[in-house]
Amino acid sequence: MATTGFLPVKAGFSEVPALIYPLDRSEAMIAVVDSNLHRERLLPSEKAFSYKMKMEAMKQQGKRTNLTLSQAATKSNTAAEIGRAQNESRDKVFRYIRLTHLIPELLDKVDEGIIALSPAVEFSYLSEAQLKVLLDAMSLNDCTPSHAQSIRMKKAAQQGTLSSEGIYKIMSEKKANQTERISFKVQDLRGFFPKNFTQKQMTDTILKLLYDYNRKLERSRRSRDER
């Protein structure tokens, strides 16, 4: 039952009227997660852990209120409800939650836009040891796994046939769309951009600056030629 109280605030008022609702642990967790999910910009990792926390809290509520549904059905219904609140599909909710199985170094690369969601979801089924090997193979070959490569690694891992050598072999394959490129370490560029910038945003900004600089050089060159 709601009660009315007065809470001191630091906004020029000594007291403000407030409605205080008692919440159990699950309700409090859902309220905190919903507040976080309403932020304008969320990193994939933030969304992943928020969805996972909300699902766990909602599952606890479901155990007390619905004893007729199977565990799988309850999980599916919960993901669908979370998705509706965020304008996303049930499957997309499950895909984000899969990211919580990644080691921190790979999850950081998803947040930075270095690795796309689809391949990350696929290789999230690898063990922690296999993910560490994958991270090393990525560094060694200066590349990220494609969606197709990630599916192959997931299948082999589920069959129990994915070895460290197999991961290195897959990651050493030359991709059809792979071209020569200039590489920078993200940490070397991070200081020039806002903390929440992804790798793609940094790349787009750098290319725009180079384009603007080139246009400036062209104008300067034409100006000299006209003299």
Q: How much is the pTM?
A: 0.60
pLDDT at 65: 47
User: Would you say 36 and 50 are in contact if contact means Cβ atoms under 8 Å apart?
Assistant: yes
Per-residue pLDDT of 105-118, as tens digits, reads 999 999 989 999 99
Percent of the chain with pLDDT over 70: 71
Residue 142, sorted as left (phi over 0), alpha (psi -120 to 50) or beta, turns out to be: left
Dihedral angle sign, alpha carbons of residues 127, 143, 114, 155: negative
CA distances from 33 to 29, 39, 42, 62, 226 (A): 6, 10, 12, 17, 63
Q: Which amino acid is at 197?
A: F
* Residue 133 confidence (pLDDT): 97
Q: What's the pLDDT at 170?
A: 95
